[in-house]
């Protein structure tokens, strides 16, 4: 089938290309709502290293999105079903290593074409059906929610049992979503959010406590999640190591372009466990949709992260959405895909 793919050829430069893709045993999905991630911005703005840009571009961006099934040769989905698109494409299974950590996996929008396409032609395993009445502007960033669910699921297996207080560093989108997932998964735990912006923190209405990182006498916590990324990770990890109680677990989620120095002396002295999480897999998407179904108020909270919805009908609309996303105060930029 001929399919138009909108690739980034160089920073700030998108161009369409028509490709012929096989459709045998595939589901054809029309993307409907797509959402921009910080990882897309790093390619769009060219802030990745020259070597990475040379290796990964040209490439269609976007790994957060939902769509509507146009046809399914496998018979799993009915025409018109609303689905979330799974960006990770495993090429093998492993009894120990999760699909999102297998080096053989392909990830849309990071070395492989993402969802900026006229149609997504996928195996049925790369789609999870959504409730029919779901708010699609919110569902568009289900992938980011599944990343939080993935990190919290791993935390359940790694952290010790005392989970009375859990700290989340970062008052952006990921910090908001991780806090919301923690609230639902550990309803009896105190969730404390540490941020740099009073206005952003005010939106975290569902947590036990909010703190500005430069306040004095910040509370201590049993465990912590780092959701800052960039240069902010350095100060955040330093503060976490200071404020976490002995034998606590630190979940690292923020992406930094440069190596981050860590106070290993105190990591040793406190007996801390640090673990990183990146991306997510099918079981995380399934758990996310199950959480949406059992906690419908989650979708209402997530709605407050929708900063802007932009209709996309041309290549210049895509660029305008990315430029608007750079200037946004907080939240997600959603693209209503009409290409």
Ligand X SMILES: O=C(CO)[C@H](O)[C@H](O)COP(=O)(O)O
174 sits near Zn ion (criterion: CB under 5 A)? no
Q: Give the range of 45-53, 65-73, 228-236, 308-316 binding ligand NDP by CB under 6 A.
A: 228-236
87 sits near ligand NDP (criterion: CB under 6 A)? no
Q: Would you tell me how many other CB atoms lie within 10 Å of the CB of residue 110?
A: 20
Collect all residues with Cβ–Cβ distance below 8 Å to 277 and sequence separation of at least 6.
Answer: 147, 150, 151, 154, 251, 252, 253
The whole-angstrom separation of Cα 177 and Cα 168 is 10
171 sits near ligand NDP (criterion: CB under 6 A)? yes
Find, among 225, 227, 208, 200, the residue nearest to 304 by Cα: 200
Q: Is 143 annotated as a binding residue?
A: yes
Which residue has the closest beta carbon to ligand X? Answer: 110
Q: Give the range of 19-27, 34-42, 230-238, 313-321 binding ligand X by CB under 6 A.
A: 34-42
Find, among 273, 278, 334, the residue nearest to 309 by Cα: 334
Q: Binding marks (x or -) toward Zn ion, 6..45, rule CB under 5 A?
A: -------------------------------x-x------
Q: Is 37 annotated as a binding residue?
A: yes
The whole-angstrom separation of Cα 48 and Cα 52 is 6
88 sits near ligand X (criterion: CB under 6 A)? no
236 sits near ligand NDP (criterion: CB under 6 A)? yes
- What ranges make up the beta strands (E) of the chain? 2-10, 13-20, 27-35, 64-72, 82-85, 88-89, 106-107, 120-122, 127-129, 165-169, 190-195, 209-212, 223-226, 249-252, 273-276, 306-312, 332-337
113 sits near ligand X (criterion: CB under 6 A)? no
Q: Would you tell me how many other CB atoms lie within 10 Å of the CB of residue 141?
A: 28
Q: Is 108 annotated as a binding residue?
A: no
128 binds, among Zn ion, ligand X, ligand NDP, none (CB under 5 to 8 A by kind): none
C-beta closer to ligand NDP: residue 109 or 232: 232
Collect all residues with Cβ–Cβ distance below 8 Å to 332 and sequence separation of at least 6.
Answer: 35, 36, 140, 141, 144, 173, 305, 306, 307
Q: Considering only residues 3, 11, 19, 38, which one is a binding residue for ligand NDP as defined by CB under 6 A?
A: 38
Q: Is 227 annotated as a binding residue?
A: no
CB of 156 vs ligand NDP, minimal distance in Å: 17
Q: Give the range of 101-109, 112-120, 195-203, 283-291 binding ligand NDP by CB under 6 A.
A: 195-203
Q: Is residue 61 a contact partner of residue 107, using CB atoms and an 8 Å limit?
A: no
301 binds, among ligand NDP, Zn ion, ligand X, none (CB under 5 to 8 A by kind): none
Q: Give the range of 53-61, 120-128, 275-283, 288-296 binding ligand NDP by CB under 6 A.
A: 275-283
DSSP codes, 200-251: HHTT-TTSSEEEETTSSSPPPBSEEEE---TTHHHHHHHHHHHHBPTT-EEE
C-beta closer to ligand NDP: residue 114 or 172: 172
Q: Considering only residues 47, 184, 230, 299, which one is a binding residue for ligand NDP as defined by CB under 6 A?
A: 230
Annotated binding site for Zn(2+): 37, 63-64, 143
The residues binding ligand X (CB under 6 A) are: 37, 39, 42, 63, 107, 110, 143, 147, 255, 278-279
């Amino acid at each position: 089938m001929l399919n138009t793919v909108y690739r980034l050829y160089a920073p700030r430069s998108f161009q369409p290309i028509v490709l012929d893709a096989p459709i045998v045993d595939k589901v054809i999905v029309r993307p409907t709502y797509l959402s921009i991630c910080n990882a897309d911005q790093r390619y769009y703005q060219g802030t990745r290293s020259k070597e990475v840009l040379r290796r990964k571009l040209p490439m269609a961006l976007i790994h957060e999105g939902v769509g509507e099934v146009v046809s399914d040769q496998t018979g799993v989905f009915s025409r018109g079903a609303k689905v979330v698109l799974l960006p990770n494409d495993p090429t093998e299974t492993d009894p120990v290593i999760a699909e999102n950590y297998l080096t053989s996996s392909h990830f849309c929008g990071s070395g492989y074409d993402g969802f900026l396409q006229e149609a997504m032609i996928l195996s049925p395993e790369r789609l999870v059906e959504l409730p029919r009445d779901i708010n699609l502007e919110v569902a568009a960033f289900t992938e980011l929610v599944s990343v939080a669910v993935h990190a919290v699921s791993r935390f359940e297996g790694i952290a010790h049992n005392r989970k009375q207080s859990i700290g989340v560093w970062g008052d952006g989108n990921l910090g908001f979503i991780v806090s919301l997932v923690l609230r639902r998964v550990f309803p009896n735990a105190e969730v404390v959010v540490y941020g740099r912006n009073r206005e952003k923190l005010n939106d975290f209405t569902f947590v036990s406590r909010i703190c500005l990182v430069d306040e004095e006498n910040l509370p201590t916590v049993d465990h912590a999640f780092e959701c800052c990324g960039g240069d902010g990770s350095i100060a955040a990890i330093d503060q976490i190591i200071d404020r976490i109680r002995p034998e606590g677990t630190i979940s690292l989620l923020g992406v930094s372009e440069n190596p981050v120095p860590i106070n290993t002396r105190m990591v040793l002295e406190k007996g801390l466990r640090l673990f990183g999480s990146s991306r997510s897999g099918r079981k995380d998407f399934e758990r996310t949709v199950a959480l949406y179904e059992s906690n419908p108020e989650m979708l209402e909270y997530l709605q407050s992260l929708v900063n802007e919805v932009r209709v996309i009908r041309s290549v210049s609309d895509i660029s305008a959405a990315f430029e608007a996303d750079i200037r946004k105060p907080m939240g997600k930029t959603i693209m209503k895909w009409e290409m």
